[in-house]
Amino acid sequence: MKANSFHPPERTLLGPGPSDVHPRILEAMSRPTIGHLDPAFVGMMDELKGLLQYAFQTRNTLTIPVSGPGSAGMETCFVNLVEPGDKVVVCQNGVFGGRMRENVERCGGTAVMVQDAWGSAVDAGKLRETLKAHPDARIVAFVHAETSTGVQSDAATLAGIARDSDCLTIVDTVTSLGGTPVKVDEWGVDAVYSGTQKCLSCTPGLSPVTFSERAVEAIKARRTKVQSWFMDLNLVMGYWGGSSKRAYHHTAPINALYGLHEALVILQEEGLENAWARHASNHLALRAGLEAMGLELLVEESARLPQLNAVEVPADIDGAGVRVRLLGEYSLEIGAGLGDLAGRIWRIGLMGYSSNPRNILYCIGALEAVLGSAGASFERGAGIAAVEKALKG
């Protein structure tokens, strides 16, 4: 078979991730590949660690990008901190809490689940009660921003409860980093992982992680070897560590790291607070448009994740059909519901470079066209007018 070069179609990515990649990042990734132990590359790595500390709002020395997607960052946290026989309290209010449970069990630990409804935030009271009932728990794990439902939980409060019970915390910030406040030091959380393909506007495939001193001490004091050679931080640190002597561990994804570096330079230029404010105000404009069309958001206002909007599919509308038409006719990607919410919601992301007024107007305009011809009843033009008004503030 003779294959030709692959040229992807031009899309507007307003799903749960990946989001549109900033052109500056794509350009940075096309720069010449150099050796992964080249002094120039090592200098870039040091800068990258500093930029990640800024993004995570932390002084943690062990702050690096794991070579692999968000799931690799997730596993890195679990395999390094959980030992066979450990009890881990896992809060689940969507898909990704379920993956945390899988990780605990595959590490030989016991997961004690705190379950909340999909679409609600993690209940702090339930966590407190669970820790009272399980004083031997060593770790609390929770998802800050549940991408499957568009919910944000109160990380500072959950981390405080975990600390009161002398537990370490593992926190998923894949969808929050760069979009809503992630304050690792202020929250006092211990092992935090994220992804590059959401609010950092970068390509998928890297996972920024950060570990507190407490977490590093716990890793050093392990009774057993970390079960994964690739993710064993004791080994990875030989390459990413603070000393000037770097040892080969694996060949770093060099051009992908150029991309992340550029993404973080862009974040620094914008300023974290400004990035958070942009995501918040664009969410309000999108919401105004959706509500003017009679559409409703799944999540109650106080727990809404501005960068990921879970929109209820009206009863008489074929949700999957709408998504297919948006992609086919408008080259616009939005997400479907997962798990318990499959078929019940659309997930509209406004993340990173994708979070801008042009995309909001495009999305609402395309939705008006598709829903209008699908027979939904709403006043045509009302959505666009509401977005315009919200954008003017």
Ligand X SMILES: Cc1ncc(COP(=O)(O)O)c(C=O)c1O
Q: Which residues bind ligand X (CB under 6 A)?
A: 16-17, 69-71, 74, 96, 143, 147, 172, 174-175, 195, 204
Of the two residues 172 and 368, which places its CB atom closer to ligand X in the complex? 172
Query: What is the C-alpha separation between 354 and 16, in angstroms, rounded?
Result: 11
Q: Which amino acid is residue 79, in one-letter code?
A: V
Of the two residues 53 and 92, which places its CB atom closer to ligand X in the complex? 92
Is there a contact between 266 and 22 (Cβ–Cβ < 8 Å)?
Answer: yes
CB-based contacts of 64, cutoff 8 Å, min separation 6: 49, 52, 208, 209, 236, 240
Minimum distance between the CB of residue 89 and ligand X, rounded to whole angstroms?
Answer: 18
Of the two residues 53 and 153, which places its CB atom closer to ligand X in the complex? 153
Place of tokens 């009890």: 87
Q: Where does residue 104 rank: exposed (0-12), middle (13-18), buried (19+ CB within 10 A)?
A: buried
Question: What stretch of H or E contains 346?
Answer: strand 345-349
Minimum distance between the CB of residue 73 and ligand X, rounded to whole angstroms?
Answer: 8
- Nearest by Cα to 14 from 376, 330, 382, 315: 330
Minimum distance between the CB of residue 144 and ligand X, rounded to whole angstroms?
Answer: 8
Query: What is the C-alpha separation between 289 and 272, in angstroms, rounded?
Result: 26
Of the two residues 16 and 289, which places its CB atom closer to ligand X in the complex? 16
Minimum distance between the CB of residue 71 and ligand X, rounded to whole angstroms?
Answer: 3
User: How many residues are listed for the chain in this entry?
Assistant: 393
Of the two residues 143 and 233, which places its CB atom closer to ligand X in the complex? 143
Minimum distance between the CB of residue 23 and ligand X, rounded to whole angstroms?
Answer: 22
Of the two residues 72 and 292, which places its CB atom closer to ligand X in the complex? 72
Is there a contact between 348 and 17 (Cβ–Cβ < 8 Å)?
Answer: no
Minimum distance between the CB of residue 127 and ligand X, rounded to whole angstroms?
Answer: 18
Query: What is the C-alpha separation between 11 and 20, in angstroms, rounded?
Result: 8
- Residue 165 to residues 134, 135, 137: CA-CA distances in angstroms? 10, 7, 8
Minimum distance between the CB of residue 206 and ligand X, rounded to whole angstroms?
Answer: 9
Of the two residues 69 and 294, which places its CB atom closer to ligand X in the complex? 69
Of the two residues 94 and 319, which places its CB atom closer to ligand X in the complex? 94
Residue whose CB is nearest to ligand X in the complex, by number? 70
Query: What is the C-alpha separation between 81 and 20, in angstroms, rounded?
Result: 34
Is there a contact between 116 and 148 (Cβ–Cβ < 8 Å)?
Answer: no
Minimum distance between the CB of residue 122 and ligand X, rounded to whole angstroms?
Answer: 13
